[in-house]
Amino acid sequence: MLLWSAHGVSLFGSLVTRIAIPFTASLALHVPLAQLAVLNSADLIASLAVGLFAGAWVDRMPRRPLLILCDIARALALAAVPVAAVTHHLSFGLLLVVQALCGVFNTLFDVARMAYLPTLVGVDALVDANAKLSGTGSIAEMSAFGIAGWLVQWLTGPIAVAVDAVSFVLSAGFLAAIRTPEPRPQPRAHASLSQATAAFIADVREGLAATFAVREQRGLALADALMHFMFGTFMASYTFYCTRELALPAGPLGMIFGLGGVSGLAAAWLAPRLGDRYGQGRVMTAGLLLAVLGFTLAALAPAHAATPAMALLAAQQLIGDGGLALFVIHAGSRRMELAAEHLRGRVASASQFLSMALMLAGVTFGGIVGAQTSARVVLASGTGVLALAAVAIALLGAGKPARGLAV
């Protein structure tokens, strides 16, 4: 319950910032699309810098203290944005630094949380636990995105970022109150720095090998990576697409973005039941195809026609976000089920590293292609790549079969 609470309150603030920082760059600093792509890639580059090594660190130390440390570090980094705005020192460079720092600690936090969750609930309850976390995330999405657009419009983006800083402080408090014991990693003694370095590299290699050791793990990793490439193109283009090409105001956009939480909440409730009835592989494939449909509708939104454009964007949120939630819940649960306890941090970080690399490729693709064509073309291209993720799951196979069927 405490981990659940920490997840919910910090995610609420993070979703506010997901809108507030790009809107601050676009509306307050008036940066062009190419610079927005650079801003969105800053945290991805930082994530990649620590991605492969994060799992080895997580598997070598207690995970709960690391989660608390990450929360405190993110709170301090984000607090710099409103302070700079009040003192008239807000700049694009500062936003880049904050994004990069958050990228480092987001990566460490995510890997540690994925590895820590089975310790609290057990492997057999992972799908149910991840569904609850996802459902809480959907509620946070509905409220945070609905509020964030108006916070940016009424109070400015930097003040909205301050909400996120406070949320991470609260999250750290919830995590500090957890008393469930966790297994202590085995202490390691090395005679020299070179031996310690060699052992650390060996740990990283062991995690990579475990991530791709079986066909099912390879299918999950490939589909997740392709999904993140699509998300990178989305990050590079969507704010520009909505505010510039469709000419829609921030307030209504925030409310539209919040609608994704409705389908995400429904998907979280249905995910365990659908997986038991139809099998995880079929549910993941169907979820990705629903997301493809949703983003296709968004790419068809007409420019300078507010009502139909907002209707199609709302349809994307209601259809696509639920589909992505179905995929993420089952893919994340199955990945941890397949990994040994002492390897979970490294398996999580290796998969995340690949995903972040493809997301960065998507952001780069979006910035370059968008500068030459339009944000609409970028969004449509990313949607095509997302369809390949569904093909990967369908052909390579992943997930438990429906209950009662043989493996």
What mean pLDDT, rounded, does the chain reach? Answer: 83
The pLDDT value recorded for residue 169 is 93
Using CA of residue 10, residue 15, residue 20, residue 21, what is the dihedral sign? positive
User: DSSP letters along 238-299, please?
Assistant: HHHIIIIIS---HHHHHHHHHTHHHHHHHHHHHHHHHHHHH-HHHHHHHHHHHHHHHHHHHH
pLDDT above 90 coverage of the chain, percent: 22
Q: What is the mean pLDDT of residues 398-402?
A: 63
pLDDT (0 to 100) of residue 13: 73
pLDDT the model gives residue 175:
93
Amino acid at 187: P
Say whether pLDDT at 348 is over 70: yes
- Better pLDDT: 151 or 131: 131
404: confidence class by pLDDT, cuts 50, 70, 90: very low
pLDDT at 406: 40
> Which pLDDT score, from 0 to 100, does residue 210 have?
80
Higher pLDDT, 322 or 40: 322
Once rounded to an integer, what is the mean pLDDT over residues 372-381? 92
Q: Does domain 2-178+194-396 have CATH number 3.40.50.300?
A: no
For the ranges 49-58, 97-106, 275-284, which has the lowest average pLDDT? 49-58
Q: Determine the pLDDT at residue 142.
A: 67
- Residue 170, pLDDT > 80, answer yes
Q: State yes or no: pLDDT of 104 exceeds 50.
A: yes
Average pLDDT of span 160-178: 89
**pLDDT value for 88:** 85
pLDDT in tens, 321-343: 899 999 999 988 888 888 877 78
**What is the b/e burial string over 374-402, where b = at least 16 CB atoms within 10 angstroms of the residue's CB?**
bbbbbbbbbbebbbbbbebbbebebbbeb
- Label residue 31 by pLDDT band (50, 70, 90): confident
pLDDT tens for each residue of 54-67? 888 888 788 889 99
Average pLDDT, integer, range 366-375: 89
Residue 401 has pLDDT above 90, yes or no: no
Q: Are 220 and 210 in contact (CB under 8 A)?
A: no
Query: Mean pLDDT throughout 335-357?
Result: 82
Instruction: State residue 379's pLDDT score.
Output: 92
Residue 407 predicted with pLDDT over 70 = no
Q: What is the pLDDT of residue 227?
A: 93
Which pLDDT value is given to residue 405? 45
Listed by start position, the domains of the chain span 2-178+194-396
Of 158-172, 206-220, 390-404, the least confident: 390-404
Q: Is the predicted pLDDT of residue 369 greater than 60, yes or no?
A: yes
- Please write the tens of the pLDDT for every residue from 249-267: 877 887 887 787 788 888 8
> Does pTM surpass 0.95?
no
Residue 153 and residue 23 in contact, taking contact as beta carbons nearer than 8 Å: no
User: Residues 225-241: what's their mean pLDDT?
Assistant: 89
Q: Which residues contact residue 47 at a Cβ distance below 8 angstroms, ignoring those fewer than 6 apart?
A: 103, 104, 106, 107, 352, 353, 356
Chain position carrying tokens 């760059």: 25
Q: Per residue in 124-141, pLDDT tens?
A: 778 888 888 877 777 776
- CA distance to 155, 250, 289, per residue, from 256 (Å): 19, 10, 21
Q: Residues of the chain with pLDDT > 70: what percent?
A: 91
